[in-house]
């Protein structure tokens, strides 16, 4: 049984659970790395889902230290920060999850890094955390 999940805005063909419409089957997806505070896991997950369903290849955070209450050592934090910079290297662009105007020091560094690499930057502005 095929499960239809919508219609493509470009070609009008039905989009099904198992395969995309004809105009996206052979398209090379844009690679987007999500950046932002790990306080906002729900917003990351929602934007990851939205961008993926729009046909993008999304790279996200691997460990949500703040929202999951994981205490990271300084060494682990540095490792994760460096890995995320490599994720930015792989991306065509970055999307900053900006909840309530909060952009912390790590995210600021990621934005600066993306600028230095010539990566386009877009922002998802959310007025309040979904978890509240």
* pLDDT tens digits for range 8-27: 777 777 777 666 677 766 67
pLDDT digits (tens, 9 = 90+) for 74-100: 999 999 999 999 999 999 999 999 999
Structural domain total, the chain = 1
Residue 86 domain-assigned (yes or no)? yes
| Number of residues assigned to the chain | 132
Residue 7 pLDDT class (50, 70, 90 cuts) = confident
Residue 19 domain-assigned (yes or no)? no
pLDDT for 132 equals 47
CATH assignment of the domain containing 44: 3.40.50.450
Residue 63 domain-assigned (yes or no)? yes
Residue 21 domain-assigned (yes or no)? no
Residue 107 domain-assigned (yes or no)? yes
Residue 121 pLDDT > 50, yes or no?
yes
pLDDT for 130 equals 55
Residue 131 domain-assigned (yes or no)? no
Residue 9 domain-assigned (yes or no)? no
């Amino acid at each position: 049984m095929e499960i239809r999940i919508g219609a493509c805005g470009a070609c009008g063909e039905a989009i099904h659970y198992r395969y995309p419409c004809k105009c996206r089957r052979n398209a090379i997806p844009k690679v987007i790395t999500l950046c932002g505070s790990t306080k906002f896991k729900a917003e990351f997950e929602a934007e990851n889902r939205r961008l993926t369903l729009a046909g993008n290849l999304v790279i996200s955070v691997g460990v949500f230290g703040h929202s999951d209450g994981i205490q990271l050592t300084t060494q682990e934090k540095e490792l994760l920060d460096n890995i995320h910079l490599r994720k930015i290297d792989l991306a065509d662009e970055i999307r900053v999850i900006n909840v309530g105007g909060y952009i912390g020091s790590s995210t600021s560094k990621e934005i600066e890094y993306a600028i230095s690499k010539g990566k386009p930057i877009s922002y998802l502005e959310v007025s309040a955390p979904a978890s509240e």
